[in-house]
Chain A
Amino acid sequence: MSGGALDPTTAPKFQVAAKALLGDSQLRKNVRHATNVIQTKRARVVGEMPDWQELREAGKQIRRHTMRHLDFYLEEFERNCTAAGGVVHWARDAEEARQIVVGLVKASGANGQSPTEVIKIKSMTTEEIQLNKALEAAGVHAYETDLAELIIQLGHDQPSHIVVPALHKNRSQIREIFRREMNLPELGGTPQDLADAARRFLREKFLRVKTAVSGANFLVAETGGVCIVESEGNGRMCLTLPETLILVAGIDKVVPTFQDLEVLLQLLPRSATGERMNPYNSIWTGVDKVSPGGDGPRAFHVVLMDNARSEILADEESRQTLHCIRCGACQNACPVYQQTGGHAYGSVYAGPIGAILTPQLMEMHHAQSLPYASSLCGACYEVCPVKINIPEVLIHLRNKVVKQQSSGLNILANPEVMALKAVAMVFRSEGVFRVSQELGRLAELPLSRKDAQGVGWIDWLPGMLGGWTQVRDLRVMPKQTFRQWFEERSKAAPGRRAGDAPEKESGNGH
């Protein structure tokens, strides 16, 4: 799927988008292949760590401690970053962040000339706020320099994964995009050919464009430093070659001390790409004031963006969402994501983390179908390097959605709410439950058909329940319920104790 930006305010419901994507066999093959490759690599490098569970716990504690004292660490970061020559800006929401960045870009030109181009490092935070669109509207073209982001940009596509944004494309599709967009009709199809084409295309931008925009993996409060990890080195070119560097980060990206990176930089690469260490780890602080003609940007700005993160922090049960270090392991492990790919989630944050983060970033006004885009299988929780209990947060958010749907007159428009409330009534009383079972037997009679073994099966159910029978049959209720069998059995042989082998199946009692 390509085309419009992934915008949770306008995206179709997950179910609707998923249905369309499930028909794309090429996409499903690509997603399955890529997630399997990464998962296998991850399992190998995680398996070799004897203290992986302790590391996960340490990661969780670092993130939890930081979120408990977020105000303190953010201000500490601001002080230290400023002292090192950086300029810190605060953005309440996406709109403010866009305005600040556009303003800084405009002001960054030499000789009063405002630039018409910037280069960018892969940054999900700038995707979240649709920064490229805002820059374009202000007459500034942003070149994505991360290889996968470049593929997405040239293919007029959208990212489908937080670490591997072009995961849904295979090599021959990428070749077609490069041939068309870079005007290279003779381009070969080997990885070397494609890397070479991207390198030539990007190298020219690195040398020409003087303003860069980046995200961040971590902000270090203790030093005012910033950490970015990547695989290609393109990010480092963006960080070091331009004269102005504008960094946009969510306020959740801060960590207290430099030493905390010891834990997080072990957890992140192993979880994200199945590598022991990222090929490029850039950690720097402010600007070089000692040798003004030296390396790195002359001007360094950090935009600290809230954009609903404070709201998430205020919710005791779901604030662990902010512990996320954006490794994408939950996406690779998720059996739902593996079927649909990322675009079904209608957000740059897809998969299990997207299913909890996106609706909260929207303050529950949009993306309410996402908390339901999970079978609650728990594979995400199992691989999360900072132990975010994603299923628990999903359930918490479902509760919020149900509260919205059950308020006032909404309830009448929603058969599911009515049905589940009715079933809850039935479960509350044994008498009502027994009567309902009998009524159920009557109700299923006209739908039931006997198979060759004389067992009744239902192959069509009305309304919402039709989702079940579209691919599954449903066996009718047994003639005798377990409850009835249990009661009769105790009457027939009062001396027997629970735990004896049941007679029903064995046929020859004791």
Chain B
Amino acid sequence: MSAIQSVPLNWYVTLSAVLFGLGVLGVLFRRNAIIILMCVELMLNAVNLLLVAFSAHHSDPNAQVFVFFIMAVAAAEVAIGLAILMMIYRNSKTTDIDFLNKLKH
């Protein structure tokens, strides 16, 4: 039994749930677009943590493959998301989502 398996699985699940909940709450209640983007990352990584935990517990590498995919996609997402935010900031001098409603008007 390796060191990582000595930590009970429940703890991982609880930690992931807490991180994911923080991410959701951040997305819902913060108004700064950068922080929202970070919260999305938080949610993704909460899932990643859960996946690697189960992978280690069951000695099954499949889940780790998923994690790599998620990290790659998340990196791309952040790159594009931040680029869009840069452009928005340059144009409107703000990253507050409550002011980003130009398409409506």
A pairs with B:
no
Residues in A lying within 8 Å of B, measured CB to CB = none
